[in-house]
Amino acid sequence: MSVQPSHEQGPRSLGLLSVVAPVYNEEATIDQFYARVCGALDGLRFELVLVDDGSNDGSAAALDRLAEADPRVRIVYLSRNFGHQTALTAGLDHACGDAVVMLDADLQDPPELIPRMLDHWGAGCDVVYAVREQREGESRFKLATARWFYTLFDKLAQVELDHNSGDFRLLDRRALSALLSMRERNRFLRGMTVWVGYTQAAVPYRRDPRYAGETKYTIPKMLRFSLDAISSFSHRPLQLATLLGFLISTLAFVAIPVVIVLRILGSYLPGFGAITIIMLLLGGIQLISIGIIGEYVGRIYDEVKGRPLYLVRARRNIPEAQGSPQPLPAASTHGQDER
């Protein structure tokens, strides 16, 4: 997608940039991450909002040290591990900038790309997403599963997502407000940032290997994440269940006259095997369909419970007013500030 200047606004000037990153057991990377962000944004007015997603290594202490030394570093400590997408949302909730960049804390997303993203923002783009031209240090398995997922997502979902883009994105304040007004529980943020629309632009980059540590996305987490992504952007799987139902019933209706005619003609139908196969097939399809419906019903149940998206254990370097509930439905998502 190319950069199209916004026709609705004059030239943009940056008062404050927010850089948001979720942190889960990244003690070996945090200092380097902070240094790289400061180096890349030298001369810009920025805040670094880091969300401790219930880490159980020394990450929280390392974050404490950073916040102590630099008031631009703001920390939100969640009460437990809520997962990548929710932690990122917590960070976005606490960001005050005119523009916000979200990126991973493991240095797979190079902070040095941010000034180029800002150029696009200055030219009027509301959502600037980074597109991976190369992915270093990722396993073949990860690359293959990502490819399958995006192919499936393309076929099923109603938003167009660049196959090589992740959550490394810059959002203008109005795109961010739109995103934050969407308080759904099963969050697929990269899809949601496309859904909000406005002017979007892509910036190519090379995705580096992790600086230290290991991926936090285990296979079950990846599977859940892809199910969340598809179910929150598509009803197609449900429609597929209906379609299969119709197809199989049609087959049955075709079979009825055939059986009657054969009976009248006195033909012996040995059909035991056929009946068994059909029963198994139908049973399987029915169970799969119930399973698909179950995935959606489960998510509806999660939504109606209306629980907060996350709870905050503590905040550092975050003004009192900002830590208090916002006028958005986001209000319920904030816990009490203990510090």
Smallest separation, CB 205 to Mg ion (Å): 14
Residue 109 lies near ligand UDP (rule: CB under 6 A): no
Residue 169 lies near ligand UDP (rule: CB under 6 A): no
Give buried/exposed letters for 25-42 (b at 16+ CB in 10 A, else e): bbbbbbeebbebbeebbe
Contact 134, 164 (CB under 8 A): no
Nearer to Mg ion, 26 or 172 (CB): 26
Determine the Cα–Cα distance for residues 273 and 21; give it in Å rounded to an integer: 59
CA 270 from centre of chain? 54
Smallest separation, CB 174 to Mg ion (Å): 29
In this chain, which stretch among 81-89, 177-185, 256-264, 322-330 interacts with ligand UDP, using CB under 6 A?
A: 81-89
Residue 215 lies near ligand UDP (rule: CB under 6 A): yes
Q: How far is CA 232 from CA 157, 198, 217, 297, in A?
A: 9, 20, 20, 12
33, interface contact from Mg ion, ligand UDP, none, CB < 5-8 Å by kind: none
216, interface contact from ligand UDP, Mg ion, none, CB < 5-8 Å by kind: ligand UDP
In this chain, which stretch among 20-28, 68-76, 97-105, 137-145 interacts with Mg ion, using CB under 5 A?
A: 97-105
23, interface contact from Mg ion, ligand UDP, none, CB < 5-8 Å by kind: ligand UDP
Q: In what order do the strands lie in the sheet with 46-52?
A: 200-207, 127-135, 165-172, 99-102, 17-23, 46-52, 73-78, 312-316
Residue 101 lies near ligand UDP (rule: CB under 6 A): no
- How many residues touch ligand UDP under the rule CB under 6 A: the total is 17
Give buried/exposed letters for 53-83 (b at 16+ CB in 10 A, else e): bbbeeebbebbbebbeeeebbbbbbbeebbb
Sites for ligand UDP among residues 12-51 (CB under 6 A)? 21-24, 26
Q: Helices 236-264 and 272-305 meet at what angle, rounded to 10?
A: 160
Q: Helices 173-180 and 84-93 meet at what angle, rounded to 10?
A: 120
Nearer to Mg ion, 87 or 180 (CB): 87
Determine the Cα–Cα distance for residues 5 and 199; give it in Å rounded to an integer: 8
Determine the Cα–Cα distance for residues 63 and 71; give it in Å rounded to an integer: 12
Nearer to Mg ion, 137 or 283 (CB): 137
Residue 108 lies near Mg ion (rule: CB under 5 A): yes
Residue 65 lies near ligand UDP (rule: CB under 6 A): no
Nearer to Mg ion, 220 or 327 (CB): 220
Which residue from 53, 126, 172, 228 is in contact with ligand UDP, where contact means CB under 6 A? Answer: 53
Nearer to ligand UDP, 10 or 220 (CB): 220
Residue 26 lies near Mg ion (rule: CB under 5 A): no
Contact 1, 202 (CB under 8 A): yes
111, interface contact from Mg ion, ligand UDP, none, CB < 5-8 Å by kind: none
Smallest separation, CB 118 to ligand UDP (Å): 21
Helix (H) or strand (E) holding 17: strand 17-23
Tokens of 109: 């997303």
Tokens of 41: 């944004």
The CA-based angle 116-169-192, given to 5 degrees, is 150
Residue 191 lies near ligand UDP (rule: CB under 6 A): no
Which residue from 17, 30, 48, 84 is in contact with ligand UDP, where contact means CB under 6 A? Answer: 84
| Binding positions for ligand UDP, rule: CB under 6 A | 21-24, 26, 53, 81, 83-84, 87, 104-106, 108, 215-217
| Binding positions for Mg ion, rule: CB under 5 A | 104, 106, 108
